Amino acid sequence: MKSQKKPASPGYRLYELLSSMRFAIGLLTILSIASVIGTVLKQNEPYPNYAFEFGQFWFKAFEYLGLYDVYHSAWFLTILAFLVISTTLCIVRNGPGFLRDMKGFREKAAEGSLKAMKHSRELAVSLDEAQAVALIQQRGMRYKRSQRDDGSIVLAAKKGSGSKLGYFFAHIAMVVICIGGLMDGNLPLKIGELTGSIVPETRELPQGQIPAQSRLGANNLSFRGSVTVVENKSADVIFMNSGKGYLVQELPFIVTLKKFHVDYYSNGMPKLFASDIVVTDKASGKETPATVKVNHPLIVDGVAIYQASFGDGGSPLELKAWNLAQPQSAASEIKGVSLNSQPLRVNGQDYQLEFGDLRVFNIENMGKREADGKTLQQRMHDVREVKQDTKNLKNVGPSITYKLRDSHGQAREFHHYMAPMEQEGALYQIAGVRSEVAQPFQYLRIPLDDELKIDSFMRLQAALKNPALYDEIARRTTAKAMQGAAISPAMEKQFGDSVKWILSRFGEGGFVALEKFLDDKVPADKRQAIAQTYIKILQGAVIDVMAVAQEKAGLKPWTQDEKHYRFLLDSLVTVSAFNDYSAPLYLELQGFDQVQSSGLQMTRSPGKNLVYLGSLMLVIGIILMFYVREVRLWLVLRAGSVRVAMSSNRHNRDLDEDFDKIVGALSPRAGEV
């Protein structure tokens, strides 16, 4: 709009600024840039994460600017508010004119202004009014007739007024969408927090003990939060993150989780997450059973319930505890519940056993990247092939994590798999350990015996660490060596002592202990040879260790074959590695009774329909604005001549064509004046 001539008051100038295009474009630009911040900086993380990432100074600075929740910060909402104001004022300012324009035909247009139009021509043809009206109507245009003082008749025609309507639709839509969004936003919460009537809770408390100032009533109009429900348990509140803490939102109903389902495709990718729930209305007691799936929420009482996550819900576990400090003692049974902790007394020491997640499915990517090490030709072939994804995802079966915390509060964390895992053709039980949460787990693999159990390994380990058996083992190993004429009779005693010494050294500290001895006591140039000898003796002796262990347990001796020999060699590695396991116990997961939990997200968003309405208006508005062309046509009928003038809201080739057509339609009858 052109500025007015009269001196403008400050109020009017503000109105002009706010409703102006440049202000709106400026806002759009600022809004875009501000929006980027929230996509670069992860939003709504727990505050300690930010403090850790940025350091105290920047953490405080960013917190002050509200960068951890940009889209709900006061300044961002202010920009949005200005956008709404600007759009509204734009409608107020331009609307009346547009409306007049839509209604009017401009039949009073002066001859001069018609003549000045870019598409305007005076044709020397006499056209009677009926012909002119036919010409107009043929084109689907509406018209208005007026007569000038000089007697000439003006037929002012137009079509495509919807284009202007599009302006109203699109701009009102923006306001409607913003209002809808505002209704669903957390503005009331923010105000509540500012005035102190709502205080986020920062402590971890049982739900029932959370004070009223952190609770929101079930009549709250709009909310979005989540809750974890364990199978066969119920929830009647949800939790919402709020700055440094959280708030509790009461629900008008109780949700009970009956069962949680997970399904997988044959390649190991997840196929279905679903919760069978029953929703019981608090007031009427009416029960609604339903299954909530990803993409298929349940809507009850205006609250939509979504499948958001899942996990372990605290499953009863059966474990076998192998005493590592006293390997001779028998294994015992322990019962526990995942996600729970219990005291445990081992060899006179008190520990706290803290179970973590029981994970029944562990989908691991077992394959290497396919393209590695292939020739171009193979790749060309692969590329033409139509096949399913070969990531080689595999379910490696259940696993449990637990921490064993001693009386000083020191803990080590363990990650044990239950099912046998195949590696290089043999089966193992895999167990991981770490002393700090930040570290990755160090895994050891325990070879499994013919019954797919770790019992034989444990027996072997116990025997290796039992000095009382060394004499018998050394005797057998020596005898075997004599038989094979590997040593002379004179060496018998010395060899037997060596076997015993190696066994005790290995039993105490594994390969590391032997290596340390070599480093300390043996000249560097001889280490290699002696190490070889030690390993040879150990590899020979381990057969006898197993035989003695079997006899002692009253079991049949093993047949000597390659598979068993590999078992024994693997066992040596694992026994050695167990020295870094540093735990009094090895807990073997024997069985469980899975109890799952489901993370349900619940929202009430009354503004949703308003947003959808606004969206629909926006689309209609855009279509009208861009695809309906407003065209105006004036025919001024005079005796012996006609003035044809056309205008459009867009000056483009279409108007040129239209004008030429109309002139063409009239031209056969006349030449130009």
Partner 1 sequence: MELLMQQPFYKRLNLGDWLFALFIAVVTGYTFSLYGSRMDIYEDLILLGSGAGIVALGWFWGNWRWFFPLAGAMSLLAIQLYDHNLARAGESFGLKYLLSSQSSFMWMCTLFFLATAVYWAGLLSRSALLNRIASGLTWAAAAFALAGLFTRWYESYLIAPDVGRIPVSNLYEVFILFCLITALMYLYYEAKFAARQLGAFVLLVISAAVGFILWYTFDRQAHTIQPLIPALQSWWMKIHVPANFVGYGAFALSAMLGVAQLLARRGILTDKLPKAEVIDEMMYKAISVGFLFFTIATILGAMWAADAWGGYWSWDPKETWALIVWLNYAAWLHVRLVKGWRGEPLAWWAVIGLLVTTFAFIGVNMFLSGLHSYGSL
Binding to partner 1 (CB under 8 A) within 548-607 occurs at 601-603, 605
Instruction: Write the interaction track for partner 1 spanning residues 301-340; mark x where CB under 8 A is met and - where it is not.
Output: ---x-x-x--------------------------------
Distance CA 154, CA 638 (A): 9
State yes or no: residue 615 binds partner 1 (CB under 8 A): yes
First to last CA, the chain: 37
> In the complex with partner 1, which residue's Cβ is closer, 7 or 140?
140
Q: What is the largest CA-CA distance in the chain?
A: 145
Q: Are 227 and 600 in contact (CB under 8 A)?
A: yes
Distance CA 625, CA 167 (A): 6
Task: Spell 591-616 as b/e; 16+ CB within 10 A means b.
Answer: ebebbbbbbbbbbbbebbebbeebee
Applying the rule CB under 8 A, the residues between 198 and 217 that interact with partner 1 are none
Q: Which of 212, 371, 437, 468 binds partner 1 (CB under 8 A)?
A: 371
> In the complex with partner 1, which residue's Cβ is closer, 262 or 529?
262
Alpha-carbon torsion (65, 69, 72, 78), positive or negative: positive
State yes or no: residue 623 binds partner 1 (CB under 8 A): yes
> In the complex with partner 1, which residue's Cβ is closer, 184 or 413?
184
State yes or no: residue 385 binds partner 1 (CB under 8 A): yes
Q: At what angle do helices 653-666 and 129-138 cross, to 10 degrees?
A: 150
Q: Which of 94, 95, 48 is nearest to 68 (CA)?
A: 48
Applying the rule CB under 8 A, the residues between 126 and 185 that interact with partner 1 are 138-140, 159-160, 162, 181, 184
Q: Which helix (H) or strand (E) holds 349?
A: strand 349-359
> In the complex with partner 1, which residue's Cβ is closer, 126 or 226?
226
Q: Are 558 and 566 in contact (CB under 8 A)?
A: no
Q: Say if residue 631 is exposed, middle or buried (CB neighbours under 10 Å; 0-12, 13-18, 19+).
A: buried
State yes or no: residue 297 binds partner 1 (CB under 8 A): yes
Q: Are 574 and 444 in contact (CB under 8 A)?
A: yes
> In the complex with partner 1, which residue's Cβ is closer, 185 or 327?
185
Q: Which of 331, 622, 663, 670 binds partner 1 (CB under 8 A)?
A: 622
- Nearest approach in angstroms of CB 410 to partner 1 is 34
State yes or no: residue 439 binds partner 1 (CB under 8 A): no
> In the complex with partner 1, which residue's Cβ is closer, 110 or 371?
371
> In the complex with partner 1, which residue's Cβ is closer, 439 or 609?
609
How far is Cα of residue 286 from the mean position of the Cα atoms in its chain? 35
State yes or no: residue 296 binds partner 1 (CB under 8 A): yes
Q: Are 418 and 400 in contact (CB under 8 A)?
A: yes
> In the complex with partner 1, which residue's Cβ is closer, 544 or 630?
630
> In the complex with partner 1, which residue's Cβ is closer, 535 or 663?
663
State yes or no: residue 266 binds partner 1 (CB under 8 A): yes
State yes or no: residue 294 binds partner 1 (CB under 8 A): yes
- Nearest approach in angstroms of CB 626 to partner 1 is 4
- Nearest approach in angstroms of CB 382 to partner 1 is 7
State yes or no: residue 653 binds partner 1 (CB under 8 A): yes
Output phi, psi for 137, to 5 deg: -70, -35
Distance CA 38, CA 50 (A): 14
The amino acid occupying position 447 is: P
Q: Which of 394, 566, 608, 638 binds partner 1 (CB under 8 A)?
A: 608
- Nearest approach in angstroms of CB 200 to partner 1 is 20
Q: Which of 195, 388, 410, 488 binds partner 1 (CB under 8 A)?
A: 388
Distance CA 143, CA 140 (A): 10
State yes or no: residue 361 binds partner 1 (CB under 8 A): no
> In the complex with partner 1, which residue's Cβ is closer, 35 or 332?
35
> In the complex with partner 1, which residue's Cβ is closer, 191 or 294?
294
Which span (143-151, 339-347, 355-363, 365-373) binds partner 1, by CB under 8 A? 365-373
Distance CA 169, CA 98 (A): 13
Q: Are 463 and 546 in contact (CB under 8 A)?
A: yes
State yes or no: residue 369 binds partner 1 (CB under 8 A): yes
- Nearest approach in angstroms of CB 54 to partner 1 is 18
State yes or no: residue 365 binds partner 1 (CB under 8 A): no
Applying the rule CB under 8 A, the residues between 11 and 30 that interact with partner 1 are 21, 24-25, 28-29
How long a stretch of residues is the chain?
Answer: 673
The amino acid occupying position 367 is: G
- Nearest approach in angstroms of CB 306 to partner 1 is 4
Q: Which of 13, 17, 42, 191 binds partner 1 (CB under 8 A)?
A: 42
The amino acid occupying position 539 is: Q
Which span (11-19, 211-219, 396-404, 613-621) binds partner 1, by CB under 8 A? 613-621
Distance CA 530, CA 257 (A): 65
Which span (119-127, 148-156, 471-479, 627-635) binds partner 1, by CB under 8 A? 627-635
Distance CA 162, CA 142 (A): 13
- Nearest approach in angstroms of CB 319 to partner 1 is 33
Applying the rule CB under 8 A, the residues between 440 and 469 that interact with partner 1 are none
How far is Cα of residue 206 from the mean position of the Cα atoms in its chain? 27
Q: Which of 184, 186, 303, 300 is nearest to 610 (CA)?
A: 184
Applying the rule CB under 8 A, the residues between 51 and 80 that interact with partner 1 are 70-71
> In the complex with partner 1, which residue's Cβ is closer, 205 or 619?
619
State yes or no: residue 482 binds partner 1 (CB under 8 A): no
Q: What does R_g of the chain's alpha carbons equal in angstroms?
A: 42
Alpha-carbon torsion (98, 103, 108, 111), positive or negative: positive
Which span (114-122, 245-253, 456-464, 621-629) binds partner 1, by CB under 8 A? 621-629
In three-state form (DSSP H/G/I as H, E/B as E, the rest C), the secondary structure along 539-579 is HHHHHHHHHHHHHHCCCCCCCCCHHHHHHHHHHHHHHHHHC
State yes or no: residue 40 binds partner 1 (CB under 8 A): yes
- Nearest approach in angstroms of CB 189 to partner 1 is 15
> In the complex with partner 1, which residue's Cβ is closer, 18 or 625?
625
- Nearest approach in angstroms of CB 39 to partner 1 is 4
Residue 352, CB-side half-sphere exposure with 13 Å CA sphere: 12
Output phi, psi for 654, to 5 deg: -60, -40
Distance CA 447, CA 635 (A): 98
Number of residues that bind partner 1 (CB under 8 A): 77
Which span (101-109, 124-132, 354-362, 654-662) binds partner 1, by CB under 8 A? 654-662
State yes or no: residue 95 binds partner 1 (CB under 8 A): no
C-alpha distances (whole Å) from 255 to each of 116, 228, 237 are 73, 11, 9
Output phi, psi for 120, to 5 deg: -155, 135
Which bin fits 384, alpha (ψ -120 to 50), beta or left (φ > 0)?
Answer: alpha
Which span (37-45, 96-104, 143-151, 398-406) binds partner 1, by CB under 8 A? 37-45
